[in-house]
A and B are shown apart, each in its own frame.
Chain A
């Protein structure tokens, strides 16, 4: 018999799932057999392209085997051939729903390696933008989770507010999606004059949308039936499997890098950590909703008294000089040349560094090995989605087929970050 590669794949998975010894209640006198169902790679609820082979016992999921890599782009390999500032553009493409958080997390790691202290203004702007993109990410996550389950309205309300946020990103970065806003030791440029005003407006719009979504979903009988008790993750399992972000906090673990290992001056902001009780999909939704409100508070505090001064650190060996100075001063022109030409650029000392930031999905870490040259010797991204998603086969076992999208939506898997 001729078998296509996809058939081979399914057979191999079937064999493997059988070996996992799934115990299942069966009606003794009614012979049943397990059915293999391919979920994805082209499925609207996969948010990108990911492929899962589900083994079904009737409508129950007896096992799930995810196949990743459809969006594998080799960012880590590419990074070894790009200068430290060039890599910023690649970080946009990882979690493309909150690219600013990736930009900030990456430059934070490089700055730690080079021991560069960024300016207070830069720090506040980064905090404000990181939280604004957390709003955008959570709105989309909640919206699509509801959409996958069948509630279309929440998705539209979320998208309307997200549009306002993206207008802000466009005003600040010049682009909506591929922001590439940070540079080692600073930012691409200062924010526009009306930044604080725009930030407040978009926060207000987001909070309005959040209140609407709250009314639509939180006490909605269908939404609660579909999410409560679904994909329950205990606190012990969450810690053992390395879950982070809203997934960890929904399981009742009070941990957030912004609180526990503050960076960018997060210790000076007043905000609370929402903690879940049951660790199910509903709690993950509630945690994200409350995080939106808490982030809104942080943004207000960050833009309230935005420190004056430069956005770029005064480190001529690492940071591009002001463009206006490049036209007028010889030294700045030389530094500009030294920063951008082939074979030149910021060169960190020899060493390795791991630096983590709290991205909307959890711990986003960058591990950089420097050999003292212009390009990183090795750059590794610790993607929160990848680690959180490895819980999926465990969470879904024993649930109904229709719960697959509910659990997937609550984990907020971003395929670009998953596969890198």
Chain B
């Protein structure tokens, strides 16, 4: 039994870092982005085990196109689009739209976070870059009310069309606002 525990401990020591990285040398993507946009333009995000940056909303679309088209990056697979309502976090800007990207060529993941203010919650749609963003952006619009400018078909996707609120916002109560009592079937 003692032996087994020892082996287990050994394995733990070896296994450190296995969770840490996903296939790429640390810093590759950020270095490439810095080379293109300058050091000042790149703020690192706080994703665990994956490189990440915080991008600006105004230059977001050309930036995403660059991430996809640059041969050294070629993030050709848009994994996920989602948002975070940072109302209860210590952040100035309320929303952040988060993109998870993957490059088949380099076997590398990357995460881009774009702050979106509550006052005018819009962001450029990336459907023209990755068509698969279509439903993912609709879901973010549905859940958070963030408008994707240039989206070909921005409608609610999970909630009913006449649903008045955006349920994943932090100020929307868990038990709803009584919509369930008034559903029209």
Q: Which residue numbers of A lie inside 8 Å of B, CB to CB?
A: 5, 9, 16, 68-69, 72, 74, 76-78, 80-81, 111-113, 115, 117, 119-120, 239-243, 253, 255, 260-261, 308-310, 314, 350-356, 363, 365, 367, 369, 371, 377-378, 380, 382, 386-387, 390, 419-420
Contact = CB atoms under 8 A, between A and B. Distances in A.
Contact of B12 (A117, A369, A382, A420): A117
B184 A5 contact: yes
A239 B76 contact: yes
B79 A240 contact: no
Given A120-B8, A367-B82, A260 B159 contact: no
Interface string B54-90: 0000000000000000000000111110101100110
B182 interface: no
B49 interface: yes
Contacts of B79: 242, 354, 356, 363, 365, 382
B119 interface: no
Contacts, number: 129
Given A115-B48, A353-B49, 10 more contacts: A242-B79, A308-B4, A309-B7, A310-B8, A351-B48, A352-B45, A352-B46, A352-B98, A353-B48, A387-B132
Contacts of A390: 132, 134-135
Contact of A380 (B5, B12, B80): B80
Nearest to B85: A378
Question: What's the dominant secondary structure at chain A's contact region?
Answer: mixed
A77 B174 contact: yes
Contacts of B104: 239, 253, 255
Nearest to A73: B158
Contact of A371 (B16, B19, B88): B88
Interface string B1-40: 0001101100110011011101100000000000000000
A117 B19 contact: yes
Contacts of A419: 158
B12 A351 contact: no
Interface of B: 4-5, 7-8, 11-12, 15-16, 18-20, 22-23, 45-50, 76-80, 82, 84-85, 88-89, 98, 100, 104, 107, 109, 111, 130-132, 134-136, 139, 143, 153, 156-161, 167-168, 172, 174, 184
Contact of A377 (B23, B88, B135, B184): B88
Given A365-B100, A367-B98, A390-B134, A351 B19 contact: no
Nearest to B185: A5
A160 to B, nearest CB: 36
A355 B102 CA distance: 12
Contact of B158 (A72, A354, A387): A72
Contacts of B88: 371, 377
Nearest to B12: A117
Contacts of A308: 4
Contact of B157 (A68, A77, A242): A68
B168 A261 contact: no
A50 to B, nearest CB: 11
Nearest to A309: B4
The 5 closest A-B pairs by CB, nearest first: A242-B132, A69-B158, A241-B132, A390-B135, A353-B48
Contacts of B22: 261
Contact of B135 (A76, A111, A386): A386
A310 B15 CA distance: 17
Given A69-B160, A112-B48, A354 B5 contact: no
A111 to B, nearest CB: 7
> Which of B7, B18, B135 gathers most chain A CB within 10 Å?
B135
B23 A351 contact: no
A352 B47 contact: yes
B77 A242 contact: yes
Nearest to B11: A120
Contact of A241 (B48, B131, B184): B131
Given A239-B76, A242-B79, A261-B22, A378 B157 contact: no
Contacts of A115: 19-20, 48
A299 B23 CA distance: 25
A354 B50 contact: yes
Contacts of B157: 68-69
Nearest to B184: A5
7 contacts: A69-B160, A80-B174, A81-B174, A352-B48, A382-B80, A386-B139, A387-B132
